Amino acid sequence: MEELLKNFWAWLVALLLAAFQPLSVALLVLMCAWTINILIGIAADKNQGEDFKLKKALSAAAQLGLIFAVLFIISLATTGYGEYGIAATIAKWGTWIVSYFYVTNVFRNATKLWPNSKVIAFIYSFLTTEAFGYIKSFFKMKGGTQ
């Protein structure tokens, strides 16, 4: 149920951002999140004694290429029918969703770099909706139903 809630909120926030933000902002956020994800991932691996893996970096680049290819195909399919508004909304929506997962991974790796940081742990917990489990447990302890 928590995973369903997490996905629902991610999709809802992405939909709202897609409606109110220009596509250039969504693409800029995607590129920044992707870059930070790579840098923090490399630092986290180094912090845990692992060497840089070119295969892992190339895989990340290939995934980004796939995301852009899918956005391009969606754009071609929708603009071919004159549906420019739908094309922009779908592209923004998809870009925000992917950015959310990159940011979540950034904070997952940041917890490896700074394991004692409560702020980073809280943000990661919130992004992965573990916070919902804590809130549920809190209310159960306060006399809520099981």
Note the pLDDT of residue 21: 61
Q: Report the distance separating Cα 90 and Cα 125, nearest Å.
A: 28
pTM score above 0.75: no
Give me the pLDDT at residue 144, please.
47
Nearest residue to 42 (alpha-carbon basis) of 116, 127, 106: 106
d(CA 89, CA 87): 6
Structure confidence at residue 132 (pLDDT) = 57
pLDDT at 107: 95
Yes or no: say if 105 and 37 are a contact pair by the CB < 8 Å rule: yes
How far apart CA 144 and CA 146 sit, in angstroms, is 7
Tens-level pLDDT at each residue, the chain (146 residues): 667 776 677 666 666 665 556 667 878 888 999 999 999 999 999 998 988 888 888 898 899 899 888 888 887 888 778 888 888 888 888 888 888 889 999 999 999 999 999 999 989 988 887 655 665 666 565 544 44
Domain boundaries, the chain: 2-141
Distance CA 84, CA 68 (A): 17
Residues 14, 11: Cα–Cα separation, whole Å? 5
